[in-house]
Structure 1
């Protein structure tokens, strides 16, 4: 293997890269091994997958798997809403400054970040619909624009099958091929008009949900894309820009699988397509924690990551110049504060994965750090400089914890109402004196957004025996399934590790018109966008 360039393959959702008008486009050609590699990766997936990989300039199909399967779109329907809004802006029948009001029927229990009665500009509503997938903004726009009119525009552009439900008993559906057509027209800057295409691409580049297609691409890679989640359906589709400016359009729509498995597949597809269709030299995918990892400031962190060799060659430790692994750490401001030496990799055969433990020396200053992993060799150093995929995770460094936290609380909460929580502090070795503690909490939705957070007083932790307290927890004014993160606080800093509970926040309880008996309610923080 030596220092030769080892290529990888990836399958993407819908991805397209656009070139300046003066650039000569070299048609993308999928390596001969790309279809077999993609087929191999998809064959291990437990659910269904519709995949299209397409040259964003010529429209040439580089790979497809079940491209004509009609799939429930989840939030990909918002692409149709975006298209119709931009068509009307282009025709001067709508303006970005026009007002959009969120009505009660627009607000969903999950994924709506604005309350009924909120007024947004058209520009702000489009931004929230695309970048954070706000359901309330999307449904308000669809109500105003009309599902029938949106479908008429999609049909006129031959983006089919792609239909928004005009009957409440129907579903929004599209095929991977139709979504790929949307993004190919967008990459060619012919969707509505050149100006409208540029506006849509720029908005899609600002996407904040980046746990799928972009997750294992080199830092700085530009991706214009839209995700979709609906429990049983997990998608991502967009435009990936290679170092030479070539666009590749990729669509990955999945169904009937666990969400984590679908996200892992889509990450692999993005990495493989980038590394092959965009002429990048590696054949690895990574599995790293998606949630922040807790670490103690100034002490070593041992973290295991999984590497999978998806290329044509075995990796051997006794190769003349074998692959090595490196990591780099940046602080919240982007400054590099740590870097590893070359870490030798074990033998990994083609298609095989290995769980690799890594020791990361944490800085003495607490805070959030981004740790990026990538392949290297002695001849070239870090291969990310030539387009090799990387993977990153967030490490949340803290001062030494004082207690181990335990919280007992119902899994069903009621918005704006108090529920009893039993909080237990068990002292750790670093608790040297009696310390007053609070209970910090965060409500997280399934896109990992913090919807609401706060803290409430609890009591003292003492060296020696555990201390338990009964405290009222008032659920925020939202509804739906969420992750509740809980942690001990002292003087504004974390005093324990975070514990996570899955909860359902339901409507308020009623007792014949009287307030709920028991614990008294108190104001709680408003959900944040």
Structure 2
């Protein structure tokens, strides 16, 4: 039983005891506040480090999903700006867009320097650093990587409640990890490869290559990027500025083998080649790629934040269609 039951309430309490009591209350209160904020911070880190269908679903539960928007009907566009404007008509979402006709001066940009959470687009930078290390002889395609899922979750601060996987292990060669990370956006293949490369090296890669508006999340914050930086990445990839010709072709072939084709390629004619990477996390839905056509290749990057991410996928597909029809008319 608590000794407070036997205190004589008529007798004044010693000042020293009272001071100790208030000090104890203050310490306990501060500890509670500290742990509340630490918990919130860890949840944010978990969402940022391993974007996945599971974690995205958790984020969506925190806000109301709005009904899908009615998409406009496209007509023949007089300019690239007109084409994009038609496709964006009626949207309530936030979109950042960067389009560049390669080997040409024709471009279109909208909020291209606006910062978005990157979602799985961070895997582009992991791929870039992997091929840099391969060229330097630090890494080999047939190097075998292996790790426990639990260890990866702990290293990348993934909350157990949000993790796609909680137990078991993963073993892949560097080549297999690259294929799965890019073509099906496999999160644990990406984490396995990132563990080998070191996240700090991926951050250095961004700095060395001049992607100044992009961060990989080394401090626990979400990986972030802009449409401008992604367009620059794709332009440098296309012009052999990220790797030699052999490794550039390997990276582009990986992007062309993408299996998640519900955005940029969705409304394009069969047979049109697109080298691209998608990104999704909560309310964010993105796609960035190079479209190859007989009338010239072009870069298209669309980043979005909306109250209906599935609807944003349809909107991105429509923007892509409008741009393709304009460039190939």
User: Is the CA contact 1:131–1:209 (under 8 Å) kept in the aligned structure 2?
Assistant: yes
SS of equivalent to 1:141: helix
Which structure 2 residues correspond to residues 316-395 of structure 1 after superposition, within 5 A? none
Alignment partners' CA distance in 2, 1:137 and 1:115: 15
Closer, same or farther in 2 for the Cα pair 1:141/1:7, shift >3 Å? same
1:503-514 to structure 2, matched below 5 A, reads none
C-alpha distance after superposition, 1:58-84 (max 9, x if no partner): 5x3511110000110000000000000
Q: Tell me: CA distance 1:139–1:8, structure 2 relative to 1, closer, same or farther (3 Å).
A: farther
**Displacement, 1:43?**
4.3
Q: State whether structure 2 residue 160 is matched by structure 1 residue 106.
A: no
Does 2:114 match 1:57? no
1:112 Cα shift?
5.2
Q: Quick check: 2:79–2:326 contact (8 Å CA) kept in 1? A: no
> What is residue 132 of structure 1 aligned with on the other side?
184
Residues 183 and 79 of structure 1: is their aligned pair in 2 closer, same or farther, counting only changes over 3 Å? same
Distance 1:256 1:94, change over 3 A: same
Match of residue 303 from structure 2: 253
Quick check: 1:42 aligned with 2:42?
Answer: no
Q: Deviations over 1:412-434 (max 9, x none)?
A: xxxxxxxxxxxxxxxxxxxxxxx
- C-alpha separation between the residues in 2 aligned to 1:114 and 1:269? 38
Distance 2:316 2:98 in 1: 12
Deviation at 1:243, TM superposition (A): 2.5
Whether 1:81 and 2:81 are equivalent positions in the alignment is no
Q: 1:78 to 1:53 in 2, by over 3 A?
A: same
SS at match of 1:118: strand
Q: Deviating runs (4+, > 4 A) in structure 1?
A: 6-9, 107-115
1:97 lines up with 2:147 in the alignment: no
1:241 pairs with 292, 308, 325, which one? Answer: 292
Distance 1:209 1:137, change over 3 A: same
* Map of 1:201 onto structure 2: 252
Task: Evaluate the alpha carbon distance shift between residue 225 and residue 156 of structure 1 in structure 2; reply closer, same or farther with a 3 A threshold.
Answer: same
Shift of 1:210: 0.4
- The answer to which structure, 1 or 2, has the higher relative contact order (CA under 8 A, 6+ apart) is 2
Match of 1:327 in 2: none
Indicate if the aligned counterparts of 2:182 and 2:255 stay in contact, CA closer than 8 A. yes
Unaligned runs of 5+ in 1: 1-5, 10-31, 281-529
Q: Which has the higher helix share?
A: 2
More strand by share: 1
Question: 1:193–1:253: structure 2 CA closer, same or farther, 3 Å change rule?
Answer: same
Distance (Å, rounded) in 2 between the aligned partners of 1:89 and 1:111: 30
1:425 paired residue number:
none
- Post-superposition Cα deviations, 1:233-286, rounded to whole Å, max 9, x if no partner, equal 000011111024x21001000013311221111101111111112x23xxxxxx
The alignment yields a C-alpha RMSD, in angstroms, of 2.1
SS at match of 1:218: coil
Q: Provide the TM-score with structure 2 as the length reference.
A: 0.71
Query: Alignment length, in residue pairs?
Result: 249
Unaligned runs of 5+ in 2: 1-73
Which string of whole-angstrom CA distances, capped at 9 and with x for unpartnered residues, describes residues 386-445 of structure 1? xxxxxxxxxxxxxxxxxxxxxxxxxxxxxxxxxxxxxxxxxxxxxxxxxxxxxxxxxxxx
* C-alpha deviation, 1:160, in angstroms: 2.4
CA distance change for structure 1 residues 110 and 236 in 2, over 3 Å: closer, same or farther? farther
Distance in 2 of aligned mates of 1:208 and 1:111: 23
1:227 and 2:272 correspond: no
Distance 1:235 1:124, change over 3 A: same
Matching of residues 235-314 of structure 1 within 5 Å:
235-244=286-295, 246-277=296-327, 279-280=328-329
